[in-house]
Chain A
C-alpha cells in the first residue's frame, strides 16, 4: 500500500511539473526553465521548514510565490527570443540555478546537529512529514489536494477565454496581435503561471524525497517537464496526467521486472509513442475513441 501511495505521490508531483510547462507550450514557446523553478521551489520550501521551522503549508506557498516571481523576471528577457534560441536560453537558465544551489552552503546547528544545504553534499533530512507523524496516506491526500486544485485551475482557464487566447498565440502570432492580443503579456503570464506551479510542486517534492542535491535538477528534469504535456498531448490537462502515468507508472515502475532492459525500453517507447501519436497519447483521436467507449 505504502508503495502505491508513494507512486501516486510521485505521479502527483510530476503531473504538476508537467502542467507548469503545459501553459507555455500552448503559446508555442518551448522552455526548459521549469527545472530551475522546480529547484528554487524545493530548496525554498525545504529551507523554510528545516531551518526556520515553518509549517509546511506557508512554506510551499512561499516557495510557489518565489518561483513564480522568478519566472516573471525571467520571462521578459527570455521570451524576446523563440524557438531553439529560447530552448538554449532556458537550459542555460536552469543550469545557472542548478549551479547556484550547487554552490549554496547554509548550515545552522540545531540541538547538536548541523542541518541545511551543504553545497555539493546536498541538503539532507527534510523530514517534515515523518517528524510530524504524517502517515503516507495523509501525505497523499495533502499532496493531491494541491494537484487537484492546480489541475482544476488549469482546466478551467483552458476552457475559458484565456485558454483560447493562449492557443491563438501558439497558432498564429501575427493574426493574434492583429486582433489586439499583446503577445508579450500573454507569454510572460503563461511563464509566470508555470513558475508558480513548478515552484509549488518543487516544494512538495523536497519533502517527499527528504534530500536534495544538484543532481536532481539537471536538464533532464526540464526535459521531462515538457515531455509530459507533449507526450500526453496539449488538447487538455488530462493528457499530461496520462503521460505522467505512462512514464512514471508504466515505464519507470511498471517495467521494473524487466531489469536491465527497462531503461532501454524507456527510450524506445518514447520514440515509438511520438512516431505513432505525434499529437500526444491523449490526442483528439484517442479522446474520440474514449467517447465512443463511454457511450457503448
Chain B
C-alpha cells in the first residue's frame, strides 16, 4: 500500500536518506531498524510530509503524496507518533484525543459546526474507547503534562489512533520502557493490527521488533542494506556487522 521510490533527503552535505526503496504491504507490521543516524526518523518525516524529499516519491494506495502538506496526508490515513513525545501538555487527556478527530469519517459523520462547537454522543463514545485502549479512563480530565512517562507514551499512541489511520508510523515507541511496559505495548500493537491498521515500527529494542514485526528493513547511512522477515534479518551478516553487534550489548 505504501511505496517509497528512490527517496533521497540531503541536509546540506549530509545525506540522511540516499535513494531508498521500500514497499509496505496492507496489514503488515513493518519494522525499520538501523544504527543511530541511519535515517529512520528522517524517513518518517518524509512520509508525513514534514520534510520535502530531495529526490524520489512516496505513493500511498497508488496516489502520490508529494506536495501534500502534513495535515492532508493524515486525511489520506497516515498518522504518527514522535520519538520524543509531543503531546499538548496544557490540554487535558480528553482534549488531546478530542483535537485529533480530523479523519475523513469524522468530517463525514458530523456537521462541521457540530464538529467544532458541539460534543456528540458518538464522539464521547469513541473517545471513551480510546481512553480505555490506552487505559487512562480515570485520568481523562488531567493535564497531559501531569501524566507519567509511560502514560504519556500511551496517550500519544491513542491520539494517533484517534485519527483513524490506515497506516501508523511509530517512532521508537518503546524507548525508555521497562519489560512489562514493552510487553504491554507489544499486545497493543498487535491489537491495532487486528483492527486492520498497517504499522511501520522504528525501534532499537530488538525483543519488540523481532517479536512483533512481519517484515524488517535495515537502514544504514540512509540506504537499505537488508530486508526480510525477522529470522532472515537475524542471520544476515551485513546486518550483524552493521547493527547486531551494536544490539547485543544493548
Contacts and interface: CB of A to CB of B under 8 A. Distances in A.
Contacts of A168: 88, 91, 95-96, 99
B110 to A, nearest CB: 10
Interface in A132-167: 156-157, 160-162, 164-165, 167
Contacts of A174: 50, 86
Contacts of B116: 157, 160-162, 165
B88 A180 contact: no
Nearest to B104: A180
A181 B71 contact: yes
A267 B87 CA distance: 37
Contacts, number: 79
Interface string A214-239: 00000000000000000000000000
Contact of A172 (B48, B86, B115): B86
User: Which 9 interchain pairs have the tightest Cβ spacing?
Assistant: A180-B102, A180-B74, A175-B86, A164-B95, A179-B100, A162-B116, A177-B70, A160-B117, A168-B99
A171 interface: yes
Interface stretch (B31-39, B54-62, B75-83, B231-239): B75-83
B117 A180 contact: no
B88 A181 contact: no
A176 interface: yes
B66 interface: no
B90 interface: yes
Interface string A168-199: 10011011111111110000000000000000
Contact of B88 (A156, A157, A172): A172
18 contacts: A157-B117, A160-B119, A161-B101, A168-B91, A168-B96, A171-B91, A172-B86, A174-B50, A175-B88, A178-B71, A179-B100, A179-B102, A179-B163, A180-B75, A180-B100, A181-B102, A182-B71, A183-B71
A177 B159 CA distance: 13
B103 interface: yes
A161 B79 contact: no
B160 interface: yes
Contact of A178 (B50, B75, B91, B98): B50
Given A164-B99, A180-B74, A181-B99, A175 B91 contact: no
B99 A161 contact: yes
Interface residues of A, number: 21
Contacts of B96: 168
B119 A161 contact: yes
Contacts of B162: 179
B88 A167 contact: yes
Interface string A238-253: 0000000000000000
Given A171-B88, A172-B88, A177 B98 contact: no
B98 A161 contact: yes
A182 B96 CA distance: 16
Contact of B79 (A165, A172, A179, A181): A179
A179 B50 contact: no
B74 A179 contact: yes
A75 B54 CA distance: 31
B71 A167 contact: no
Given A161-B98, A165-B99, A178 B74 contact: yes
A122 to B, nearest CB: 41
Nearest to A153: B117
Contacts of A177: 69-71
Contacts of B95: 164, 167-168
B89 interface: yes
A157 B160 CA distance: 24
Interface in A79-133: none
A167 B92 CA distance: 11
